Structure 1
Amino acid sequence: MTLPPHRKQEIRARYLEVDTANVADVLDELGYPDYGLSSAFWPIREGSKLAGWAYTVRGQMTPYPGSGDPAKMEAVSGLEEGEVSVWSGGGAEGVCFFGELIALGMRERGCAGALIDGGIRDIRWINEMQFPVFTRYRTPVQSIGRWQVNAWQVPVYLPGATAERVVVRPGDFILADFDGAIVIPAELAETVLERAEALTQKERLIREDLRQGASLPEVLAKYGHV
């Protein structure tokens, strides 16, 4: 799906106003039940929200000589505004995929945050720059000499909530908040957004009716199940 930059930014801004729970409900209704990600993903800063178009980076545990990973630098140099860097490859291995400096470089390119099936370090400094990150674990151990990027902008696997694996393709939409993280297939991004916005508005009306003294059976009869 190719959208002009201004349209992509508009969609991203609107997704920031809806919750992953409502998006998950909409995907269920549309027949896409297995796009929620593992509950092991957590935000390094409480209350942060992550929304953007997936830019995938894939790597693997492998020993190698030298003092850096040129492929990693080349991979992140392609990030564009409003994209989320999605890191796949060995989430239980115990090394960090990036830290403060690479996060700073991504933010300066307009990157909207990172979703990491792996580890992160320099959490204090990344939080100070208010860069949204959802990750599997924290570790001080660097990846240099241990874990290496082998591809980017290719479909990748991430661990799922109701399925062992969820495929994330470049250009799919990523949304993560206090409840967890979910993937919205690119071709469904606008449809899901519109329905999630409608559901969000319905919930606002229900809350208001309840505050005004209506009973739960009354509001369910009025608005239906949510």
Structure 2
Amino acid sequence: MITINPNKASLTTTQLEALKPLSSCVLSDALDVVLGRLSPAEQPVHIGGCLPGGIQEIRHYDTPMIGTATTIYAPNGTSLPLHLAMATHAQDHILIISIDECTNVAYMGDIQALLSARNHCSGIVIDGYIRDRQGIAELDMPVFSRGSLPKRPTKEELGGINVPIQIGDTHINPGDIIFGDTDGVVIIPATLLALVIDEAIKKEESDNNRKNKVAQFNFANAHTTLDYIDIMTKDVADFVKTNQDKL
């Protein structure tokens, strides 16, 4: 039996424009900061974060993948929930598929990807394999997977659409925000998005300032670890100051 739930989550234009210039690295750092400030009672039940590093874009995309999650649970090698979601739950969402570590089949080919792209899907993230890689890579729609494999899946009546899922150590709820780029994929709980965006903008500004300092730093005149404090992150600089007699 397949469980199917509705999902009307969407990003506002303001949220989307704020996310576009950011990166998965900055957003991951920002999420860590936000979660670190919350008490256990304030933290969401399902905490987002980075997906496993093996899940990567199948080719380089010029812009990041950004959107709200349609979650799909597809266990035991079945792609039936994915096929159903592509038809009715893909528009303006990112399909993200948990497979219970079943890695002996490919869950999607180029025809299914084309269907999703034509149906205005914002992207697909699969904790497993695809096939017809070249055809999928020719589409503008971003696709992230663990790689490619020729073996087709089954169509067993199992799983769910818009149900809570887990990929690696990361929990994902329907409507959570997904951001993917060349470094990987970050999941931001919908309830924390505003806080994460604010923190990420600050982080981006701080990183740009440090890059400028590094670019202009006079390395010829730096002879001890203390001389590098101005271009170190605050935590490293604090360590150096405290332990300068050991360095």
TM-score range, shorter chain: 0.7 to 0.9
Deviations 1:136-168, CA, capped at 9 Å, x for gaps: 2311111135x55531011111113xxxxx211
Aligned to 1:43: 57
Task: Select which of 11, 29, 33 maps to 2:33.
Answer: 29
Identity of aligned residues (%): 22
Cα distance in 1, alignment partners of residues 111 and 199 from structure 2: 38
Q: CA distance change for structure 1 residues 202 and 62 in 2, over 3 Å: closer, same or farther? A: closer
TM-score, scaled to structure 1: 0.79
- 1:127 aligned to which of 134, 137, 140: 137
Deviations 1:39-82 (A, max 9, x none): 1212111356322111111112268xxxx94x543322233544
CA deviation digits over 1:155-212, x for unaligned, max 9?
111113xxxxx21100001122222222111101121012112211221222223323
Cα-Cα RMSD: 2.9
* Equivalent runs, 1:13-162 vs 2, <5 Å: 13-31=17-35, 35-46=49-60, 49-61=64-76, 69=80, 71-145=81-155, 150-160=159-169
Name stretches of at least 5 consecutive residues in structure 2 with no aligned partner.
1-6, 37-46, 220-227, 237-247
Is the Cα contact below 8 Å between 1:72 and 1:149 reproduced in 2?
no
Report if aligned partners of 1:60, 1:148 keep a CA contact under 8 Å in 2: no
Structure 1 spans left out of the alignment, 5+ residues = 161-165
TM-score (norm 2): 0.73
Counterpart of 2:172 in structure 1 is: 168
Structure 1 stretches of 4+ moved >4 Å: 2-5, 223-226
Q: Would the aligned equivalents of 2:75 and 2:100 in 1 still touch at CA under 8 Å? A: yes
Instruction: Report the Cα distance in structure 2 between the residues aligned to 1:103 and 1:9, rounded to whole angstroms.
Output: 26
Q: CA deviation at 1:115?
A: 0.8
Distance 2:18 2:153 in 1: 35
Structure 2 Cα separation of the partners of residues 197 and 174 of structure 1:
17
Equivalent residues, number: 211
Residues 48 and 186, structure 2, Cα contact 8 Å, conserved in 1: no
More strand by share: 1
State the SS of the aligned residue for 2:154: coil
Give the secondary structure class of the aligned counterpart of 1:53: strand
Question: How many angstroms apart in 2 are the aligned matches of 1:202 and 1:96?
Answer: 42
Change in Cα spacing, 1:23 to 1:88, as seen in structure 2 (3 Å) is: same
Q: Distance in 1 between matches of 2:214 and 2:12?
A: 36
Partner residue of 1:217 out of 225, 229, 235: 229
Residue 8 of structure 1, CA deviation: 2.7
